[in-house]
Amino acid sequence: MSDAEAALPTTVPIAVVGAGTMGSGIALVAAKAGHKVLLHDANAEAIQRGLDGLRSGLDRLVAKGKMTAAERDAQLGRIAPTPDVDAVAPAGLVIEAIIEDFGIKRDLFRRIEAAVAPDAILATNTSSLSVTALAAVLSRPERFVGVHFFNPAPILPLVEIVSGHLTAPAVAATAFATCRAWGKTPVHCRSTPGFIVNRVARPFYGETLRLLTEGAASPATLDAILREAGGFRMGPCELMDMIGHDINYAVTRTVYELLFQDPRYKPSLVQKELVDSGLLGRKSGRGFFDYADGATAPAPDDAPAGPRPARAVIEGDLGPAAALAALADAAGLTVERRDGTGLVRLDGATLALTDGRCATERMAEAGGPSVLFDLALDYGTAKRVAIARADQAPATATAAAAGFFQALGKSVSVLDDAPGLVVMRTVAMIVNEAVDAAHQQVASIDDIDLSMLKGVNYPRGPLAWCDSLGAARVATVIDSLGRTYGEDRYRASPLLKRHALTGRSFH
Ligand code: NAD
């Protein structure tokens, strides 16, 4: 995609239609950049509410000394309430942010197209509707593009510039350059269900919901593992509670349906039960967690203190967990190194990094480990490590493994023998999704990584994460999950398999 087009100059008025959460935020972004903004909403009170919300937000910044009163007044002064939709006529770019309803958006765009100049760009902020299908209601679909801001629009940098089937490359490039001139981080993508972020992020929720279905651990424990070992800013359960289960469930269902019921995106009965019960998360006062005044947040399950091992024998290469040897050394354990297949031998337990199989399956092999441990983003800084014991192993093996990680200063979460544990399977599935999005030409490798870093604050871009783990390891995890579950949900992307074979990296 060419980005040769220039941004729209600030002399070009911008129209924003829909003055709710997103529209008012987008209006402020454009006004801040110096454009005159025509802000329309079918409901005049919504325009006033939107402007009042912007004013009180800017008042807070003025009070904190982060902007002057004159700057606030100048920004707000550039936003003109526009009660009549036809009055958006002078705009060179119209961004629609109304209710998520295809028919209502279609009628609105037909009216807008009749009002504006022939070269004006028409854009939608839709999260889930097809940009291609919306464009098709226009007589000039080539001037239609998705500009998908994230909430809150004035703060979150990412904007997905979504090209429909007939969107002119120059139109997408102008939208891209304009968003960049507004201080945003735009990325290009094709109009496909979930675009980049809402598609690649599905496994972050989906794998935790799956583990909850199987009773592998509690919501608080799974959250703690993904935060404290995975390096994610929030755990999936607290994040779903914040987003709202109705919204999160609807996004998953939409992506699932629009991708022709691909089992990779299958919604979860655990989440449906929450929605059906009205436990929508923070907004309803309760979801996975209780948000009532005085309610205490449940603590993650921590293994009791295990015996401190006198020595640890590290056999072979531990791969992404190689740092454990130096950490054990620094913790004062006697560390012995030998050739081998990537095991940590302790008195009472043999440990290995999960490869997507259950501990029970691995221990069934001659010399197999009795306890598996989970992936960490960085074993040095991780505060927690999850472990799972094979069904054949004695309970003392859990204590021995816990004692080892506790000696390294980690909290330990003991899971039921879940294949791929938590961080490994979640990261592998996110990586696989990102690789498959690249394979299916949804967006470029760089833009996919940028999107997950800037749109949802992932600690590492998924394709960079794949490079550091090795595509072969990720593919092995997915294949193992596929064999264990016997489900098409866990199938490696053809592009991941190719990189696994050649050892090529994505960056
Ligand atoms: P919202 O409910 O806060 O605001 C929608 C506004 O549209 C309301 O003020 C309503 O009066 C107005 N409206 C409805 N029909 C209209 C019409 N025919 N003409 C003019 N105005 C009309 O909704 P929102 O959360 O701001 O979402 C708006 C759009 O942005 C949706 O397409 C949504 O999918 C998308 N989006 C939302 C988020 C989010 O987190 N809220 C994030 C990204 C994208």
Per-residue pLDDT 10s for the chain (507 aa) are 555 689 999 999 999 999 999 999 999 999 999 999 999 999 999 999 999 999 999 999 999 999 999 999 999 999 999 999 999 999 999 999 999 999 999 999 999 999 999 999 999 999 999 999 999 999 999 999 999 999 999 999 999 999 999 999 999 999 999 999 999 999 999 999 999 999 999 999 999 999 999 999 999 999 999 999 999 999 999 999 999 999 999 999 999 999 999 999 999 999 999 999 999 999 999 999 999 999 999 999 999 999 999 999 999 999 999 999 999 999 999 999 999 999 999 999 999 999 999 999 999 999 999 999 999 999 999 999 999 999 999 999 999 999 999 999 999 999 999 999 999 999 999 999 999 999 999 999 999 999 999 999 999 999 999 999 999 999 999 999 999 999 999 999 999 999 999 999 999
Rounded-to-integer distance, Cα 371 and Cα 414, Å: 10
Which residue has the least CA distance to atom 25 on ligand 1? Answer: 21
CATH architecture of 11-191: 3-Layer(aba) Sandwich (3.40)
Distance CA 238, CA 253 (A): 20
| Protein residue with its CA nearest to atom 4 in ligand 1 | 20
Atom of ligand 1 minimally distant from the CA of 24: 26
Q: Are 58 and 76 in contact (CB under 8 A)?
A: yes
Residue 47 alpha carbon, nearest atom of ligand 1 = 9
Tell me if domain 199-284 and domain 432-502 are identical in fold.
yes
Signed CA dihedral, 318, 324, 326, 332: sign only: negative
State the pLDDT at residue 3. 57
Domains of the chain by residue range: 11-191, 199-284, 311-415, 432-502
Q: Could you tell me which residues are beta bridge partners of residue 163? A: 190
Architecture in CATH of 199-284: Orthogonal Bundle (1.10)
Q: For tokens 């109304």, name the residue.
A: 98
In words, the CATH class of domain 311-415 is alpha beta
Cα(126)–Cα(323) distance, integer angstroms: 44
- 96 Cα–ligand 1 center, Å: 8
> Between 236-243 and 245-258, two packed helices, what is the crossing angle to 10 degrees?
100
Atom of ligand 1 nearest to the CA of 49: 9
CA dist 199 and 452 (Å) reads 10
Residue 127 catalytic? yes
431 touches 463 (CB < 8 A): yes
Question: CB under 8 Å to 421, separation ≥6 — which residues?
Answer: 354, 372, 373, 374, 375, 386, 387, 388, 415
pTM strictly above 0.75: yes
Residues with CB under 6 A from ligand 1: 17-23, 41-43, 46, 97-100, 104, 108, 125-127, 149-151
160 included as an active-site residue: yes
Residue whose tokens read 């987003």? 243
Catalytic residue (choose from 160, 228, 238, 361): 160
Mutate to test the pocket of ligand 1, among 95, 111, 127, 128 (most ligand atoms within 8 A of CB): 127
**Position in ligand 1 atom list of the atom nearest CA 98:** 7
DSSP 336-393: EEE-SSSEEEETTEEEEE--SS-HHHHHTSTT--SEEE---S-TTT-SEEEEEE-TTS
Contact status, residue 80 vs residue 70, Cβ threshold 8 Å: no
Architecture field, domain 432-502: Orthogonal Bundle (1.10)
The pLDDT, as a whole number, for residue 354 is 98
To which residue do tokens 């995975």 refer?
A: 230
Atom 39 of ligand 1, nearest CA residue: 151
Encoded amino acid at 238, one letter: E
Catalytic status, residue 148: yes
Q: Phi and psi of 9, rounded to 5°?
A: -65, 155
Cα(125) to centroid(ligand 1), Å: 8
Q: Which two tokens stand for residue 36?
A: 């005159």
Q: What is the DSSP letter of 217?
A: S
Cα(504) to centroid(ligand 1), Å: 43
pLDDT computed for residue 5 by the predictor: 85
Instruction: Give, in degrees to the nearest 5, the angle at Cα 305 between 302 and 310.
Output: 135
